[in-house]
Chain A
Amino acid sequence: MAAEGGGKEMNEIKTQFTTREGLYKLLSHSEYSRPNRVPFNSQGSNPVRVSFVNVNDQSGNGDRLCFNVGRELYFYIYKGVRKAADLSKPIDKRIYKGTQPTCHDFNHLTATAESVSLLVGFSAGQVQLIDPIKKETSKLFNEERLIDKSRVTCVKWVPGSESLFLVAHSSGNMYLYNVEHTCGTTAPHYQLLKQGESFAVHTCKSKSTRNPLLKWTVGEGALNEFAFSPDGKFLACVSQDGFLRVFNFDSVELHGTMKSYFGGLLCVCWSPDGKYIVTGGEDDLVTVWSFVDCRVIARGHGHKSWVSVVAFDPYTTSVEESDPMEFSGSDEDFQDLHFGRDRANSTQSRLSKRNSTDSRPVSVTYRFGSVGQDTQLCLWDLTEDILFPHQPLSRARTHTNVMNATSPPAGSGGTNPGSNGNSITTPGNSVPPPLPRSNSLPHSAVSNAGSKSSVMDGAIASGVSKFATLSLHDRKERHHEKDHKRNHSMGHISSKSSDKLNLVTKTKTDPAKTLGTPLCPRMEDVPLLEPLICKKIAHERLTVLIFLEDCIVTACQEGFICTWARPGKVGLLSSQNQANSPSGTVV
């Protein structure tokens, strides 16, 4: 009834939008698709995905893009905002039978004008290594599907490596491969390397080295996406069971976890400085999680359906008093890993140093975007008041938190040093130590109390008085003792990570009981963000969002890859167009 009129209005598809930086404009001539430009009938097929690579040629036209549509895979020169797309001449085009490409990734380290290494994952579980410039099929992995028969959900080169890559499947497993090794002619035999309640890592038992090198089993249900931290050391995984799990990739240790408000988590990304992780999922929300504090710092509501991609915009993310270049392009600069690693670390340490010593936090704004099945693009700003809430706000929140005995990092990222030193006795308003990871024992103890309290929480109606808090304190200290012993008994797995494992074991026992714990705070306990802009930009559900220096790239399930010029970058193409008519671009 009332929705009818509104529904029609909303069917209008936006071709431009304005934020405080200025006007973003869709460049219709820069639309990439299948050469015939016919919308792909998308029902029931795998999401369209786009990968970029710069081949470092001298011309300045080094950008290449790859995308999959249905059972086809295309490789084009990407002209971005500079020139119209020329769809008549894909550098490479492949059509697959019996299996569909689902995802792909270029190796940025090895890319040259003569050769690129592109990994392609498939719906039946295989992974192919191809070179769309040389047009050779170099290698096929999991060809006989002996390793995993389920759909490949995410494939990525290990940062800084020319030969290692990681493949996630809808089975919930993830495999580390080396392009130099074969996959063997028999199903692999595995040997347990490390285990937590929600994950296990196995090595492949074999006389000669073979793929997979490692098998990760993470959570329950499909592993939907993973993302390496900018410094390449950590791996964030999101799963259909609604959990974000962040691992130290090399030491195979769980750093922290988070649970969606409800439903599966579908996408994940890191802030350029590695301090924050954003997820999107089936609760229609985006969730911002602090890597340092291991807690949810904000949620965002703007989408009308599931969120399919989240991404930070490194070019609009700014930290005052520091060179903005520090933050830009860390995604693109994997070529120089060591540089990237040092840089990210230095930024991080500088930030945290400043946070812990200055009474005023630095002026930081992070920009991220999200696209969803609602065909909408949302842009979000993470501002200081969310990142470093001032005392009144955090105190106000403390009241709601107290009865849940929320975990240590309930205070803000170190804005109030020295007010409450001990995070065990002051759960609601505690200030995490500058390096919380070195302090994991109180961590596990308190979050254990958190999960205990949530059990009580089910029984006690919300709005319990502060007496509940007092009793929780007692319980906590008792449990602390127990935990301590258990830590030792788990020492045989890995003394180094036992306390971390314990943390998982405790908090992951029942996903239903996570609400009100640091794993999944109640809606009213964390700030709710509103999007800067929220625009319907396609007919079909959106599946791609990539922030480039000059533009934003989006793509929808129909197979149209759109380029949105950033403010001030629009003129570049229009002057070209006046010289060349659209048909002239074929030449």
Chain B
Amino acid sequence: MTVRNIASICNMGTNASALEKDIGPEQFPINEHYFGLVNFGNTCYCNSVLQALYFCRPFRENVLSYKAQQKKKENLLTCLADLFHSIATQKKKVGVIPPKKFISRLRKENDLFDNYMQQDAHEFLNYLLNTIADILQEEKKQEKQNGKLKNGNMNEAEENNKQELTWVHEIFQGTLTNETRCLNCETVSSKDEDFLDLSVDVEQNTSITHCLRDFSNTETLCSEQKYYCETCCSKQEAQKRMRVKKLPMILALHLKRFKYMEQLHRYTKLSYRVVFPLELRLFNTSGDAVNLDRMYDLVAVVVHCGSGPNRGHYITIVKSHGFWLLFDDDIVEKIDAQAIEEFYGLTSDISKNSESGYILFYQSRE
């Protein structure tokens, strides 16, 4: 491992300066650092998501200010904060960093990631965001209890019922409203559901806009899927529609490219060509909320390269200060905005092997 690391870092030296030259000394943004992450054996799923999150500005800023707070007991978030801090405070503008502490903490905390196997980047993103939210919520609870002990305030019942919203929620959380109309009594019941990212089905030769419209298409619940209507007090046929009611600050879209094939008893990759624009508005919103037509800008894309979930590689493209960068573990390159089209997927159904967008991060402009 050490030998390999040294080799890759040496390699990086020439590569990094090439990147600096590519961007140009005048154009290179002040206080910005582009650092590749060393792969510790199939950890590209982690590296790719960490890079994407680092370039989601509100997320990065919150992680860095968490680091600035007083010393805490080590957890996944402190490890992430240390990693982000070490990138942000590098003397050099470009280079490579081994995210060693973060990876070992991750492996310690979750059995799922405690191996050298291929992991799903979306699963990791989900785990990371939820873990950070849990840590922050726990800390808020602790703080409150400490405060209470000092002040002797005792309105516990109210406080415990409310789940504290953390900055993870403020950044990523949106709300879906699930409207079900009973076809017997016509009663509409709606249920709200929070999300940190949306997982959408993909179809050949479509756009992410279409996939999102499809996500919200009316679905009829019948035969075995009948819906229990409270008004009718029985199972009835119903129509269901899911729309976005509250739009998140950062909209993370997971393209469901891995599909379980019953006959093969394994997952296969749908390399469909799904185009995603640099600007996005949602059509599948429900009418009664504010700011539903806000404009989103694409800020990062986690790309899956390969033919299946257990074989392949993850890379990330991010937008930073107006230009696009490609992070492939320890390699960082500047790419042309037009090169993004290489990551839409394939129009031919024959080949499964593709470099195709897997998680899209859109940031709200307002």
- Using CB atoms and an 8 Å cutoff, list the residues of chain A in contact with chain B: 1-3, 7, 11, 41-44, 170, 221-222, 242, 261-264, 282-284, 304-306, 373-375, 458, 461-462, 512, 515, 522-523, 539-541, 557
Contact = CB atoms under 8 A, between A and B. Distances in A.
A123 to B, nearest CB: 11
A540 B277 contact: no
Contacts of B296: 262
Contacts of A461: 290-291
Contacts of A515: 293, 295
Nearest to B281: A262
B219 A283 contact: no
A304 B295 CA distance: 20
Nearest to B211: A304
B337 interface: yes
B138 interface: no
A153 B314 CA distance: 32
Contacts of A462: 290
Contacts of A523: 283, 293
A306 B290 contact: no
Interface string B323-366: 00000000000000110011000111000000000000000011
Given A373-B275, A461-B290, A462-B290, 12 more contacts: A2-B219, A42-B347, A43-B347, A262-B281, A282-B278, A283-B277, A304-B205, A304-B210, A374-B206, A522-B293, A523-B293, A541-B273
B209 interface: yes
B205 A373 contact: yes
Contacts of A306: 207, 275, 277
Contacts of A43: 346-348
B193 to A, nearest CB: 19
B205 A375 contact: yes
Contacts of B280: 262-263
| Max chain B C-beta neighbours (<10 A), residue from A7, A282, A522 | A282
B201 interface: yes
Contacts of A375: 205
Contacts of B275: 282, 305-306, 373
A348 B85 CA distance: 65
A282 B207 CA distance: 8
B279 interface: yes
A539 B275 CA distance: 16
Interface string B198-213: 0001011111011000
Contacts of A305: 205-207, 210, 275
A370 to B, nearest CB: 14
A512 B366 contact: yes
Contacts of B205: 304-305, 373-375, 541
Contact of A7 (B203, B291, B341, B365): B203
A282 B342 contact: no
Given A306-B275, A512-B366, A262 B295 contact: yes
Nearest to A282: B277
A512 B210 contact: no
| Max chain A C-beta neighbours (<10 A), residue from B201, B273, B279, B365 | B279
B347 A282 contact: no
Nearest to B278: A263
A3 B347 contact: no
B209 A540 contact: no
14 contacts: A3-B203, A3-B214, A43-B348, A222-B338, A262-B280, A262-B281, A262-B295, A305-B210, A374-B205, A374-B206, A458-B366, A461-B290, A515-B293, A523-B293
Contacts of A557: 347
A306 B205 CA distance: 9
A42 B219 CA distance: 36
Interface in B257-299: 273, 275, 277-281, 283, 290-291, 293, 295-296
| Max chain A C-beta neighbours (<10 A), residue from B205, B273, B280 | B205
Given A262-B280, A263-B280, A221 B207 contact: no
